[in-house]
Amino acid sequence: MGLEIAFWILAIIGVVAALAVVLLRDIFRAALSLVLCFLTVAGIYVTLSADFLAAVQVLIYVGAISVLIILAIMLTREVQRGSPANRLRIPAFVVAVLFFGAVVFAMVNTPWQVVDTPPLEPTTSALAIKLFGEGGFILPVEIAPVLLLAAILGAIVLVREK
C-alpha cells in the first residue's frame, strides 16, 4: 500500500517537473525543476527496489549533471531571453503525442512475462558480481572509462582559450 502511494506521488511530481522543464520561460527555473525531476526518478528507483541505482542517480544526475547545466546557463547569459519555442512547436507537439500513443499502445498490448519473484535486496553486491564477475559485463566496464576519458579530453580541448 505504501508503495502505491509513493509511486503515485513521485510520478505526479516527476511529470509536473518534466512539464515545467519544457514549458517554463525562465531557463534557470527550468533547470531547477529538472533537478526536482531527477530526484523523483531516484525515488522511483527506490520503489523498484534498485537501491544502488537510486544512490547513483542522486550522485551523478542531481549532483554532477545539474551543476554542469546550471553552470552553463550562468556562463551563457541567455537567462533574459528565456527559452522560446521555434517555428516547429505545433508539429513537435503532434510528433510527441503520436509517439506517446504508439508506445503506450505497444506497451499495453504486449503480453509481458511478469514473474512474481520478490526482488533482490540489497542490489549492490549482486550488481558488482554482474559487472566484474565471470561471464559478466567486464568488457563494457573496461570500455566505459575510455569513453569518459575521451569525453573529458574533448571537453577540455573544446573550451580551452585559444
Partner 1 sequence: MSIGLEHYLILSAILFSIGLYGALAKRNAIVILMSIELMLNGVNIAMVAFSRYIVPLLLTGQVFAIFIMVVAAAEVAVGLAIIIAIYRSRETIDATEVNLMKW
Q: How far is the CB of 134 from partner 1 (least distance, A)?
A: 14
Judged by DSSP in three states, 117 sits in coil
Q: Which three cell numbers stand for residue 125?
A: 553486491
**Closer Cβ to partner 1, 89 or 134, answer by number:** 89
Q: How far is the CB of 66 from partner 1 (least distance, A)?
A: 9
Q: Who's near 123: CB < 8 A, 6+ residues apart?
A: 49, 50, 51, 52, 53
**Closer Cβ to partner 1, 69 or 134, answer by number:** 69
- When computed from its CA atoms, the radius of gyration of the chain, rounded to whole angstroms, is 20
**Closer Cβ to partner 1, 64 or 134, answer by number:** 64
**Closer Cβ to partner 1, 117 or 134, answer by number:** 117
Q: How far is the CB of 147 from partner 1 (least distance, A)?
A: 5
Q: Largest Cα–Cα distance of the chain, in whole Å?
A: 59
Q: Which three cell numbers stand for residue 108?
A: 499495453
Q: How far is the CB of 50 from partner 1 (least distance, A)?
A: 5
Q: Which three cell numbers stand for residue 161?
A: 582559450
